[in-house]
Amino acid sequence: MEKERLKKQIEFIVEIDKLKHIYRRTYLMDGSRNENDAEHSWHLALMTLLLTEYTLEKEIDICRVIKMVLIHDIVEIDAGDTFCYDEKAQKDRSKREKRAADRLFNILPEDQSQELRSLWEEFEERVTPEACFAASLDRLQPLLHNYYTKGYAWKKHNVTSDMVFDRNKHIEEGSITLWEYAKEIIEDSVKKGYLLP
């Protein structure tokens, strides 16, 4: 029984290595290349540790937030990274990601499969304080990347400030402080010509 459990866990560990090959539209802050999903998730986990003091709800389970940010994009192994400003691709994103979640999380032993699937769904639904904070960080991180690359990805895809405000407004659901900071970044990006007005 123990050997079978370990075999499933190792199979999942091997499978999620593929996340390192899923590239996002976001560029590394030095602008040298696109960021991959594994790097993004790792960055969010560290942001969780560093920015916890800014949560809207002060009594949240930070370990739960870290788990969410580490697994939230695993489904992109099968579903691919859907560019947030691509309206056409967004139409079937949820369906593709649910199908991927079915396959990927079911590699694990049942208890871990249920736990990770539940965390992924919680993140997607953005109802709990933990999910709201995790989602806030998930929006803030690419915003920082775009700002520090002088809007490289925004310019490449003709993204406007209205699009960025709309995409990121739910940062406020997890942290008012981080939303105020995000608004400053967006406004400064427009002033500096990194982002179309």
Long-range contacts of 12-18 (CB under 8 A, 24+ apart): 12/104, 12/107, 12/108, 15/77, 15/104, 15/107, 16/74, 16/77, 16/104, 18/77
pLDDT at 33: 96
Percent of all residues in the chain with a pLDDT value above 70, rounded to a whole number: 99
φ/ψ of 151, rounded to 5, equals 75, 25
pLDDT band with cut points at 50, 70 and 90 for residue 6 = very high
Encoding tokens for residue 16? 């999620």
Q: Are 138 and 156 in contact (CB under 8 A)?
A: no
Distance of alpha carbon 193 from alpha carbon 190, whole angstroms: 5
pTM of the model: 0.94
- Does residue 153 have a pLDDT over 90? yes
The residue-averaged pLDDT of 29-34 equals 96
Instruction: Give, in order, the Cα–Cα distances in Å from 23 to each of 26, 82, 88, 161.
Output: 8, 10, 19, 24
The token pair that represents 53 in the structure block = 């003091």
C-alpha span between 28 and 84 (Å, rounded):
17
Confidence of residue 88 (pLDDT cuts 50, 70, 90): confident
Mind listing the domains of the chain with CATH numbers? Answer: 2-191 (1.10.3210.10)
166 burial (CB, 10 Å; 0-12 / 13-18 / 19+) is exposed
Supply the DSSP symbol for 160.
B
Question: Residue 41 in contact with residue 69, Cβ under 8 Å?
Answer: yes
Indicate the Cα dihedral angle 143, 148, 149, 153, nearest 10°: 10
What pLDDT is recorded for position 9? 98
Residue 37 is classified by DSSP as H
The partner residues of 196 in beta bridges, in order of sequence, read 160
φ, ψ dihedrals at 34, nearest 5° = -70, 150
